[in-house]
Structure 1
Amino acid sequence: MFQVVGEAERAGGLSAVVRDGDPETRWAWDDTNRWYPGLLDDGVRVERAHDLRLAHAILRRSPLTAHTPFARAPAGPWDRLEPAPAGPPPPVPGLAPKAEGLFDLDDASPGPYDGLDPAAELRAQEAAVADARDPGRLRFLLAAESAGALVAAELHHTGLPWRADVHDAILTQRLGPRPPFGQRPARLEALAVRIRELLDAPPTLNPDSHPSLLKALQYAGIGVRSLSQWELMEVQHPVVEPLMEYKKLSRLLTANGWNWLDTWVRDGRFRSEYVVGGVVTGRWSSVGGGALQLPKEVRRAVVADPGWTLVVADVAQLEPRVLAAMSRDDAMAAAGRGGDMYAGIVASGAVATRDLAKVGMLGAMYGGTTGASAQVLPSLARTFPRAIALVEDAARAGERGEVVSTWLGRGSPRPGADWERAQAGAYDADDGARARSYTRSFGRFTRNFVVQGTAAEWALAWLASARRRLWALGEHGTGDGVFANRPHLAFFLHDEVVVHTPAAMADDVARELREAAAEAGRLLFGDYPVEFPLTVATVDSYADAK
């Protein structure tokens, strides 16, 4: 049962409406981030929702609805709708919060949601799904995407436990004491001095300036064309070691240094903002804080609260397992049973070593056409013909400029104007190479789209199941807030989750995460015998999970 949320519910107090409503209601609203964070702040959890903005984007692009009036209509305001922020922006270190003034008219200005009719949009979406070529798959995808939006809002609300003192100690150990604003930490400054000495460069050389550093290397007789790690590793010169160390420490300072700590960690929690469906394949992205790129060396700062622990679970070789299930390749599914799929591929006789199995499968899914991946691809195609045929067919479709689809019906974008122009000039000898390059590039994209996008759908189903199961485990202890006494999802990274849980419930959490993974496989692929095994660790610090 849908109940549309609009301005009437806002005026009547949405928290009271939801709290007193039927728990089985599926709340339909224009954007989860516009409504759900306020509910969570009021101590109200929503079991089910339908995110009209996210669903609109899927239905407009899906091949399953391409023939419907919904997909064929001209672009409108729902197509231009950007996601609302999950919360207020983080404070800028050193700046006082903006004071409310008499002439602050932000709230009175028209917003992007003004004038949208969520009830009419819901009716149009339901008609498009009903007329789709496979309504069941699309309904599942829309439900999973909307559940993901609830999870993302809850992740922002709860935050990831973060010890600022531990993070500061990591930075101090690696970089030296925190320097005054605008100065390099001691370790970086010492390396900068050493780099200048070894290059016989002036004291003004700034190692952070790539053009200046590249020119200094060339003046010193080091014939490199870039500062890439792989090119520098080929160079025999004493400057390489301190330069590589400088680059590594500089990345730490820039991505997760003291400014990051001041900006993104508040009240013992790191709260980044996840963007559901932020990548065209359906994978999530994040706004600020680099939530999807936390380096291992700062994960020591992710420490459970006293009396709590972290349960970290990740699925092994998710994309190859998804490929086996999509293609119904029995031999490949069998290779993944019992644990390590790459070891199973070796046991099948397709390749000689685990490294070759991994390189070959990644090449098959991402379009590797050179080196070891290209050498083993014929053997993989003989051993796993249906799996390799599926990605090859997707690549050929992309090369023809066609749309491909994930398992549940998310459609790939069409090639852009550059591709069209290249194809139009393909018969000109000067433009033929460019056209072939664009063609191959888009084929590599569609080859991976079908697998990565379906893996993202599996992950959404896993998250939705885990969210429901963790809630059903109940409470342990006392405290205020929706999740104060409950195990809850605290972090998500494509094929990995971190649950923050009362320590006494850790075993139950691990069991439910495994059950959720098995359920996700059944929901997508029925009784097809492909396994999605998890590696689960119960730790006090995230860094200890692997």
Structure 2
Amino acid sequence: MYVVLTRSNRGVTALRLDDAGSVLGEPEGVAETELPAWVGRVERERPRWVWDDSTRWYPALLAAGVRVERCVDLRLSHQILRASTLTAASALANAPLGPWDNATPLAEKAPASGALFDFDVEPATDAPTDPVAEFALQREAVAGAAEPGRIGLLLAAESAGALIACEIKAAGLPVRADVHEGLLAELLGDRPRGSERPARLEELLERMRAILGTHDVNPDSPAELLKALRRGGLQVASTRSWELKEVNHPVVAPLLEYKKLSRLQTANGWNWLDTWVADGRFRPDYVPGGTATGRWGASGGGALQLPKQVRGAVVADPGWKLVVADAAQLEPRVLSALSADRAMAEAGRGDLYEGIVASGAVKTRAEAKVAMLGAMYGATAGDGGRLMPALTRAFPQAIAMVEGAARTGERGGTVTTRLGRSSPPPGEAWRELQEGASVQGASDALQRAARTQSRSWGRFTRNFIVQGTAAEWALCWMAGLRGRLWSLGTGQFADRPHLVFFLHDEVIVHTPAELADSVVDELRAAASEAGRLIFGGLPVDFPITTAVVDNYGQAK
């Protein structure tokens, strides 16, 4: 059974549908104040709730102590169905843009080097929507899809992810503010007043000034810093850390230390602590589906980063433990499953990189890692490019898959993940440049620019299929784990083992200490289940590493 919820100025209207989508009875009006209790009663029938946006419904239910098992998040599902090649012929995909199309068109922002998958997503609009009509369109699109089972699983996982994001924020990551303050003091010195620099940063700055023989050094301004470095005799093109590490000069060490500590202060310093940690909890604002590949984004608080320097402040409650788990070498394993490359799957029976060494493709584990990164991100030079021929000979199916995705992108085409999320097409500016370069008499400079742009988009689509499918695996892992954790305990949501943090292929579960071993078992079982759901019987392992700790800093 489905229950479609709609809000209006008259309150909430609930409409029940059977599994075939047919209406069951008359719409039911529910007062806003009575909604949590009403949802709690209906939840006993195990419906799948259908609503426009989980963030508009679920937080209030959680605050009232009501957890729901399943939902259909129409906005997230609409974004997937609108763009997927599996539903390209559907009425939904071919309809004019409307209020459900709340995301900034991904094609309008071409990927930049180092940030291939960071696209802007605008918050949902307040334009009138009809959830019942939209749900019917979505069901029709899935039913008519090239592979309904694949896209259906993706929509279910995406909607489960929306529930999980709300639950993580409601539960919060346990953070000891006093411990965090202590760690900052050790690294940066006492809390500065006003716009002062912390003592440690000021000390490093004085060292840089002394080495360069000038007080005209501002490490917080890349442009001014670059001028100061060049005046000091350093021939550098930028102030990026990777370039500075190649320079043999005494100012480099304090400068790199300054940059590292400055990032810490900006991202997770005293202001972060004051703004984002309250009542012993950090409540991250995740954005499920916030990037083109389906990886989560964040709308504030640095939910997708927690530097190692301050992880010791993430401390389990008394009588509780943190179970930290991450999927080992997830993206290479996803590639072996996507391509059905049995040689690579066999190499991944244990440590995948050691398996690649054992195959004879490379000599060391470090080379194996570089080679795989080169394959997934399109290395043509350096060690990654040098190792590609041997990797191609050892694992031809896997390399052929990413090469094919790259060629598709270079032509301006679209690629699709295992479950059906499709890459955005390049924007109008991309196509104009390609067309201009193909005209007879086009300048060499224009043709070079077009080739560079084409290769850039090819690198995007090359990795899209791997990163996007890895994001699908992670969603299925968390969705399965969510149900397993609920079955371990009793009482309210926060009294049972529950997810409190997620970062691409890593999760943290906060659990009563006596259930920690059971949580580890469920984490592993959910990982195996996610692999079977997405890839069926392909012989690809998805091992995870786990650590049961009192604070996050002990995990690694």
**2:494 match: secondary structure:** coil
Post-superposition shift, 1:209?
Answer: 2.0
CA distance in 1, matches of 2:75, 2:246: 49
User: 1:316, 1:535 within 8 Å by CA — same for their partners in 2?
Assistant: yes
Which residues in structure 2 correspond to 1:204-215 (within 5 Å)? 205-215=217-227
Instruction: Decide which moves more: 464-473 or 355-364.
Output: 355-364
Post-superposition shift, 1:81?
Answer: 6.1
Asked whether 1:426 is paired with 2:447, we answer no
User: 1:23, 1:47 within 8 Å by CA — same for their partners in 2?
Assistant: no
Post-superposition shift, 1:206?
Answer: 2.8
**Corresponding residue to 1:48 among 61, 70, 79:** 70
Encode CA deviations 1:471-503: one digit per residue, 9 max, x unaligned.
01123xx7xxx3232100010011111000000
Asked whether 1:231 is paired with 2:246, we answer no
CA distance in 2, matches of 1:412, 1:387: 19
Encode CA deviations 1:312-369: one digit per residue, 9 max, x unaligned.
11110101111111111111111111x2111011111111111111111111111111
Asked whether 1:373 is paired with 2:384, we answer yes
User: 2:4, 2:131 within 8 Å by CA — same for their partners in 1?
Assistant: yes
Instruction: Decide which moves more: 235-244 or 122-131.
Output: 235-244
What amino acid sits opposite 2:452 in the alignment?
A: S
Extract unaligned runs of 5+ from structure 1. Answer: 83-110
Asked whether 1:296 is paired with 2:296, we answer no
CA distance in 1, matches of 2:253, 2:342: 48
CA distance in 2, matches of 1:438, 1:319: 25
Asked whether 1:2 is paired with 2:2, we answer yes
Encode CA deviations 1:390-442: one digit per residue, 9 max, x unaligned.
11111111111111100001010001122101111113123110110111111
Identity %, equivalent residues: 61
**Corresponding residue to 2:155 among 142, 160, 175:** 142
What amino acid sits opposite 2:46 in the alignment?
A: E
**Corresponding residue to 1:470 among 476, 481, 485:** 485
Aligned residues: 511
The TM-score normalised by the length of structure 2 is 0.90
**1:5 match: secondary structure:** strand
Match of 1:88 in 2: none
CA distance in 2, matches of 1:290, 1:528: 37
Instruction: Decide which moves more: 208-217 or 342-351.
Output: 208-217
CA distance in 2, matches of 1:386, 1:234: 37
Which residues in structure 2 correspond to 1:244-323 (within 5 Å)? 244-323=256-335
Match of 2:495 in 1: 485
The TM-score normalised by the length of structure 1 is 0.91
**Corresponding residue to 1:403 among 403, 414, 419:** 414
User: 2:324, 2:507 within 8 Å by CA — same for their partners in 1?
Assistant: yes
User: 2:91, 2:137 within 8 Å by CA — same for their partners in 1?
Assistant: no
What amino acid sits opposite 2:286 in the alignment?
A: Y
Asked whether 1:16 is paired with 2:37, we answer yes
What amino acid sits opposite 1:17 in the alignment?
A: W
Match of 1:194 in 2: 207
User: 1:81, 1:112 within 8 Å by CA — same for their partners in 2?
Assistant: no
CA distance in 1, matches of 2:246, 2:535: 46
CA distance in 2, matches of 1:322, 1:421: 35
CA distance in 2, matches of 1:23, 1:419: 51
What amino acid sits opposite 1:398 in the alignment?
A: G
**Corresponding residue to 2:396 among 382, 385, 408:** 385
Match of 1:529 in 2: 539
Match of 1:99 in 2: none
Encode CA deviations 1:36-77: one digit per residue, 9 max, x unaligned.
000000000000000000000000000001112211111111
CA distance in 1, matches of 2:80, 2:426: 17
Match of 1:165 in 2: 178
**1:292 match: secondary structure:** coil
Match of 1:545 in 2: 555
Post-superposition shift, 1:218?
Answer: 1.6
User: 2:67, 2:493 within 8 Å by CA — same for their partners in 1?
Assistant: no
CA distance in 2, matches of 1:412, 1:176: 46
Post-superposition shift, 1:114?
Answer: 4.6
User: 2:528, 2:541 within 8 Å by CA — same for their partners in 1?
Assistant: yes
**1:291 match: secondary structure:** coil
